Amino acid sequence: MFFKKDKKLSADIADRVMRADYGDQAVEFVVGEDSGGDRYLPPANGDGLFQKLEFALSIGGDGTFLRTARTLKALGAPLYGINAGRLGFLASGKQEDAALDVMRILSGDYSLQSRASIHCKLQRSDGTSETIFAMNEIVISKGSLSHPIDLRVLVGGETLYRFLADGIIISTPTGSTAYALSAGGPVVHPDVRCILLVPICPHSLYPRPIVMAGSESIEIRLAGESEKMYLSGDGLVNMRLGQGDKVMAMLDESGINMIKLGRSSYYETLQKKLGWGVLTQNQNGGDPGDD
C-alpha cells in the first residue's frame, strides 16, 4: 500500500482499508515508505514481503499513482488506485468503496489493463548517460526565465523538425490526457500502441503535435544555447540539461498492469473527468435542467 502519510485523507482511507474485515481472506498489508523522491521504498521490516506483492494499492491523486508505478516497475505487481486527489484519471477508485474494492480484488473479481511506458536515455555531451522511466510523459523544457530552446527532433534517425520552443513532450497514450492535452495534443485511447510528440509553445506555426508508431525511436538534440534546460519524467524526475546533450526515447517492452473493476469504458471516463457530452447553459441556450 502506498500513500502520503502527511495527507490526512489518504492516511484515513488507508487506516480504514487495513482495519476492514475481509472474511476468510488472509491479508497482510505492507506500507511503502516515502523516499522523498520519485518512488517509494520498502519498509525496513518488510523488505521480503515488499518483493512478494500480489497487488499494490495507491491512495491519493494521480501523482501518487505515478510514484507507485515507478516503484512497481521492477516488481511487476498490478496496481489499483483509490482517488484522494482531484481529477483521478489513473486513481479511479472511490474513497467510500476502498475496502470493498480490495475485497473484490482479493476475490479475483477484476481485469487487468496493460499501459505502455517510456524508456528514456539521456546521453550527456561528456559521454555519461542516465536512464529514466515514465508512465505519462518525458518533458524537455526551458527554465522559467530563460529564452526558448533550440530543439532538433529525429525519428528513426531521420530529422522530423527543428524549432524554437518552450519545450517538447514525449507522451504515452496514458499521458495524452495529462500535460500533452494541456499543450494541445490529441486524446489517444490507451490501447493504441503509439508515442505522441507535442511541442510546447513553438515559435513557429509548422511544428504540430504528431502521433508516431509505437515501434519508433525518438531522439531530441539540444542544438542551440540556453541558460537553463530540464528533463523530467512524469513530473517526478528532474535533471538539468546542457548544450550538446541528447535525449533518446521509445516505448518500453514492458508496461504497467492496472487493475480494472467494473465495466465502465474509457469513453465514460473521458465524459466524467473532462465533462464531455454535457451541455452548458451557453451551448443549449438555457439551463440544462429545463428539459
Query: Active-site positions?
Result: 62
Q: Please check whether residue 247 is in contact with residue 120, taking contact to mean a CB–CB distance below 8 angstroms.
A: yes
| Residue 98 near residue 73 (C-beta atoms within 8 A) | no
**Would you state the torsion angle of the CA atoms of residues 112, 216, 131, 201, taken in this order, to the nearest 10 degrees?**
-100
Strand partners, 111: 260
Size (the chain), residues? 291
Q: Do 152 and 223 meet the contact criterion of CB atoms below 8 Å apart? A: yes
Question: How far apart, in whole angstroms, are the C-alpha atoms of residue 216 and residue 195?
Answer: 8
Q: Which residue in the block uniquely carries the three cell numbers 484515513?
A: 12
DSSP summary character for residue 71: H
Question: Rounded to whole angstroms, how far apart are CA atoms 95 and 115?
Answer: 23
